[in-house]
Amino acid sequence: MQSPSSNTSPSIIGTLGGTLLSIVSLSASGMVNTVVMAAIGAATSYLVSLLLKHITTRKKTE
């Protein structure tokens, strides 16, 4: 029986290879799209966390 760590190296190599290939295959417009979508996602996450913080602190003060 193989130990769980014996599959780690191929998994890491596969993940890194797939990541590198996806970065290399992006065109300029694809890169811009990715950056814009990441910025929108980060801003949305931040605003939702602020809203939830506001809601939870408001409930505690009531």
Residue 7: its pLDDT value, please?
Answer: 59
pLDDT of residue 53: 92
Could you tell me the two tokens for 46?
């931040």
Residue 34, C-beta contacts closer than 8 angstroms, at least 6 positions apart: 26
pLDDT of residue 42: 96
Residue 36 has a pLDDT of 93
What is the predicted pLDDT for the residue at 1?
46
Q: What is the pLDDT along the chain (62 residues), one digit of tens a residue?
A: 455 555 578 888 888 888 888 777 777 778 888 889 999 999 999 999 999 999 988 777 76
